[in-house]
Amino acid sequence: MKLYNSATRTRDEFVPNHPDIVKMYTCGPTVYHFAHIGNLRSYLMEDVLEKYLRYLGYNVKRVMNITDVGHLTSDADEGEDKMLKGAKREHKTVMEIAQFYTDAFFSDCKKLNIKTPDVVEPATACIDEYIKIITRLMDTGFAYFAGGNVYFDTSKLERYFVFNDFNAEDLAEGVREGVEADANKRNKNDFVLWFTKSKFEDQALKWDSPWGVGYPGWHIECSAISMKHLGEDLDIHCGGIDNAFPHHTNEIAQSEAYLGHKWCNWWMHVLHLNDKDGKMSKSRGEFLTVSLLEKKGYDPLAYRLFCLQSHYRKSLVFSWENMDNAQVAYNKLIARIAALKPGDGEVDQTAVEQLRQKFRAALDNDLNTSLAVTALYDVLKAKTNDETKLFVLADFDKVLSLSLLEKAAVEREKLKKQAVVAGEFTIISESGEEDPEVEAKIRARQDAKKAKNFAEADRIREELKASGIELIDIPHGAKWKRI
Ligand code: AMP
Ligand code: ZN
């Protein structure tokens, strides 16, 4: 598989460090508010990457943090603590806010068929790990104490900017909500590892440390949580593009200074979902959440399809019109799958392999989900039996996770019920088997009855009986069984 790497700025053949495992880390949500569907675009595309790696046969171990401390309103360690802001807004404690929005996040993920990572670790559970890393950084001269806080000294690095293919606008995204600069920093890009002094004396959560009672900076969380669960090296680290700078840049700085060697090989960044007025925000205009989509009558999986239809390295514009189109496309897709007949022949393995080829080629090419969706439609058009089509659709859905077969089964049931209500004639067999010849004879008997040709109707019943088929009349149809 070829995967774009923000660190090398090339599409490289993906090769994990260890043959038996892919170590994957994802920056988790800051749980001070609901996630908006922009945040969820990032998690959704990362979910596709994880599932595709598993599809290829890799054993993936995926770790995600939950930021419940240390993230200030500016990613450059300035401004107010996001968690505290959320607690004040809702007159709750920080931990109550954290629990509520962590649950809300995973509930949204579930609705979007985003798998929960193997390890989910709240930042507040790893204080000892931060202290261990910061202590070594202090001992080796990569960190300094000033004005009550511990800072990482970026001037000690040979190279600080690793993702310098971003334009000025991308770089600015992470440093939003500009506030006054911190006079204690020796260099402009130095960042806080441990706070004991902040402008906000009401900081709720504090811990003892060698540098005084305080709390960790946001960036140190991800380095420490990743090392705690995945060890000293990492195959893929993911996040939204705004995380590239300063967050991921700082993660690399402190991790490699601490370890004394390279830390992570691949950096995957998902471009933003924007609304037509620009950047999506939790504080401006209509706050786009999964619940809002549902309230407006959309299936969250139609949003998943919408995301899959574009490439993760292109920014995506959200509009209600786009969402309408995605919902129509999703409904049509499910209806077409519902029209396929399960059990219609044997699975044709040659056809399966041919159909899989295009799907794999698409995803092998830097996770081109849009072409993978095209490969999905190709299955419906393919010249093979329905059983084979259903088999391939289930196979693709291990990665795309659109609940294709489950929704189609519900749709099929619905259609059956509607047929009964509409007075249509339904034929079922007791064993569940389908036999077109038997069904044709039963329909011919029904037509004869309708035409009041009862002699012909009786003759067909006898003919069926002679061939070992017993008929039982049921409301709006007939049931048959083999005697
Ligand atoms: P946060 O909860 O703010 O830490 O963000 C959670 C994740 O969402 C991070 O990976 C961000 O980079 C990502 N993110 C933030 N805004 C957007 C957006 N508009 N579109 C896609 N991803 C986003
Ligand atoms: Zn992170």
Atom of ligand 1 nearest to the CA of 27: 10
Euclidean distance between CA atoms 215 and 69, whole angstroms: 8
Reduce the DSSP state of residue 101 to 3 states and report it: helix
Whether the predicted pLDDT of 178 surpasses 50: no
219 C-alpha to center of ligand 2: Å?
6
**Using one digit for the tens of pLDDT, what is the confidence trace for 128-177?**
999 999 999 999 999 999 999 999 999 999 888 888 654 545 444 444 44
Work out whether strand 22-26 and strand 234-240 pair parallel, antiparallel, or are unpaired: parallel
Ranges 46-60, 272-286, 442-456: which has the least confidence? 272-286
Q: What are the tens digits of pLDDT across the range 386-433?
A: 999 999 999 999 999 999 999 999 998 888 887 777 777 878 777 777
Phi, psi for 18 (deg, rounded to 5): -120, 135
Q: Once rounded to an integer, what is the mean pLDDT over residues 460-483?
A: 87
Residue 75 has pLDDT above 80, yes or no: no
State yes or no: pLDDT of 204 exceeds 90. no
Q: What is the mean pLDDT of residues 237-244?
A: 95
pLDDT exceeds 80 at position 91: yes
> Ligand 1 pocket, 44 CB below 6 A?
no
Q: Which atom of ligand 1 is closest in space to residue 42's alpha carbon?
A: 22
State the helix-helix crossing angle for 300-308 and 369-381, rounded to 10 degrees.
Answer: 110
Report the C-alpha gap between 416 and 426 in whole angstroms: 8
Q: Model-level pTM?
A: 0.86
In the prediction, which pLDDT does 173 show? 44
Q: Which atom of ligand 1 is nearest to the CA of 26?
A: 10
Distance from C-alpha of 234 to C-alpha of 321, rounded to nearest angstrom: 40
Provide the pLDDT for residue 74: 66
Average the pLDDT over 220-247 and give the result: 96
Residue whose Cα lies nearest atom 23 of ligand 1: it is 39
Nearest CA to ligand 1 atom 12: 240
Closest approach atom of ligand 1 to CA 35: 2
CA torsion, ordered 356, 362, 364, 368, to nearest 10 deg: -140
361 close to 402: Cβ distance less than 8 angstroms = no
Per-residue model confidence (pLDDT) at position 419: 74
Is any ligand 1 atom within 6 A of the Cβ of residue 38? yes
**pLDDT for the residue numbered 199:** 58
Tell whether domain 280-421 is in CATH 1.10.3720.10: no
DSSP track, 287-306: ---HHHHHHTT--HHHHHHH
Ligand found nearest the CA of 30? 1
> pLDDT-derived band of residue 179, with 50, 70 and 90 as boundaries?
very low
The pLDDT score that the predictor gives to residue 430 is 72
Q: Where are the domains of the chain?
A: 2-270, 280-421, 425-483
Give the DSSP letter of residue 453: -
Per-residue pLDDT band at 285 (split at 50, 70, 90)? low
What's the mean pLDDT in 240-265?
96
Per-residue confidence band for 82, with pLDDT thresholds at 50, 70 and 90:
confident
Q: Does domain 2-270 have CATH number 3.40.50.620?
A: yes
**Cβ-contact 162, 269 below 8 angstroms:** no
Which of 61-75, 239-253, 340-354 is predicted least confidently?
61-75
Taking all residues of the chain, what is their mean pLDDT, rounded to a whole number?
A: 91
Q: Give me the residues near ligand 2 (ion), CB cutoff below 5 Å.
A: 27, 222
For the chain, how far is it from start to end, CA to CA, in angstroms? 55
Rounded distance from Cα 125 to ligand 1 centre (Å): 22
How far is ligand 1, taken at its centre, from the CA of residue 240, in Å?
Answer: 5
Q: Is the CB of 255 under 6 A from ligand 1?
A: no
Report the SS3 class of residue 167.
Answer: coil
The DSSP output letter for 201 is T
User: 98 has which bridge partners?
Assistant: none
Statement: residue 478 has pLDDT above 90? no
SS3 of residue 319 by DSSP: coil
User: How much of the chain exceeds pLDDT 70, in percent?
Assistant: 92
CA of 4 to the centre of ligand 1 (A): 19
Q: Whose CA is nearest to atom 22 of ligand 1?
A: 39
Q: How far is the CA of 21 from the centre of ligand 1 (A)?
A: 27
Instruction: Determine whether the shortest distance from the Cβ of 79 to ligand 1 is under 6 A.
Output: no
More confident residue, 180 or 324: 324
Better-predicted residue by pLDDT, 295 or 163:
295
Mean pLDDT of 38-65: 98
Taking residues 324-344, what's their average pLDDT? 93
Answer whether 86 contacts ligand 1 (Cβ < 6 A): no
* Ranges 122-126, 305-309, 431-435, 464-468: which has the least confidence: 431-435
**Average pLDDT in the 26-41 region?**
95
Segment (H or E) for 338: helix 320-338
Rounded to the nearest angstrom, the distance between the alpha carbon of 292 and the centre of ligand 2 is 27
pLDDT in the model for residue 316: 97
Name the band, by pLDDT with cuts 50, 70 and 90, for residue 219: very high
Q: Is 62 in the pocket of ligand 1 (CB under 6 A)?
A: no
Does the CB atom of residue 41 touch ligand 1 within 6 A?
yes
Share of the chain above pLDDT 90, in %: 72
- Looking at residue 174, its pLDDT comes to 44
Ligand 2 centroid, distance to 243 Cα (angstroms): 7
CB 229, CB 119: distance < 8 Å: yes
| Ligand 1 pocket member 239 (CB < 6 A) | yes
CB 150 within 8 A of CB 144: yes
Q: Best mutation site among 242, 272, 273, 318 for ligand 1, i.e. most ligand atoms within 8 A of its Cβ?
A: 242
What is the Å distance from ligand 1's center to 42 Cα? Answer: 7
